[in-house]
Amino acid sequence: MDQRDEVRDFLSSRRARLRPTDVGLPAGTGRRRVAGLRRDEVAVLAGVSSEYYARLERGNLSGASDAVLDAIAAALRLDEAEHLHLRNLAQAASQPARRRRTPAPRNHVQASLQRVLDAMTTVPAYVRDSRMDIVADNALARELLSPVYRFAEHTGTAPNSARYAFLDASARDYYPDWKQVTHDCVAALHGAAGHNPYDKPLSDLVGELSTRSETFRTLWATHDVRLHRTGIKRLHHPEVGVLALEYDVMELVHPPGLVFIAYSAAPDTPGADGLALLASLAASRTDALTAPGA
């Protein structure tokens, strides 16, 4: 991933989706040479010179002030996630070279956090890093996400939501809303890349998925980003059937870059019944593994 290319492609793609009438400019007459707004039109809307905006869109965000970034975000009608992505790209561009380091591998979490996960016996919960690797979990999460873990074991890789969604054929059945899930995965990875474009393991994952999945390549080229906070996800578990569960995502303060994800269901709903059955399955398998002679 080249940081300047990411800036250029992101800004040009946001500009291309807007028509002059979308932002209060006259439509004009005759055929336009570019899709969407022209650079000079964005510059007028943002209150900067055409030359300066052209420099920014060529990938040089270094030194751009928050006020300028906010004005460009308003001109391009960026949503919250896109606005944050633009700020992250600018922050990465302004970092001194000595600070551009790949984060250390995160292959474990604090023991106290693992105890919290293990104590949650009725709620599937796990911790995920910015590359969508699952780095900690509880028994119910392993049961709920069993297809993801089986694929990881088969391929000798870390359990990774994006890798499973794009590279395992069973993902289309496991995720009834597979198209939305894959779009969300790419949007999350794009956001992570904007925050730290010098994360080599993340670059390697993007390269792997780009090489092996045409769907991933197509979605990556859209440069869409989104914030992953809460919602409803449908999962087709091989033993329980389809579960519609609410999820909540919480950023961890330490170590940075990790998020805590928990699934739940309202009482007396099919989702709650499904989670109860999953908890029973998880408990029985745990008992089998810990029995004498297992």
* CA max distance for the chain: 82
Same domain? For 152 and 183 the reply is yes
How many domains does the structure of the chain reveal?
A: 2
Which pLDDT value is given to residue 28?
64
The series of mean pLDDT values per 10 residues for the chain, 294 residues long, is 86 92 74 81 95 94 93 96 94 68 59 94 94 95 96 96 97 97 95 87 94 97 91 95 96 88 95 93 70 58
Q: What share of the chain is helix, strand, coil (3-state, %, to 5)?
A: 55, 10, 35
Same domain? For 80 and 137 the reply is no
Same domain? For 90 and 132 the reply is no
Structure token digits, residue 31: 């055929």
Of 73, 99, 125, at which residue does a domain stop? 99
Which pLDDT value is given to residue 104?
45
Of 76, 99, 122, at which residue does a domain stop? 99
Which pLDDT value is given to residue 120?
94
CATH number at residue 259: 3.30.450.180
Is-contact 126 145, C-beta < 8 A? yes
Report strand pairing: 134-137 vs 125-128: antiparallel
Domain coverage including residue 65: 3-99
Same domain? For 190 and 141 the reply is yes
Query: For residue 105, is it within any domain?
Result: no
Length of the chain: 294
Q: What type of residue is 109?
A: V
Structure token digits, residue 93: 């561009």
Same domain? For 265 and 150 the reply is yes
Which pLDDT value is given to residue 35?
72
DSSP 160: B
Question: How far apart are alpha carbons 195 and 181 in whole angstroms?
Answer: 21
Helix segments in 76-177, DSSP class H: 80-94, 111-119, 139-144, 146-155, 161-167, 171-174
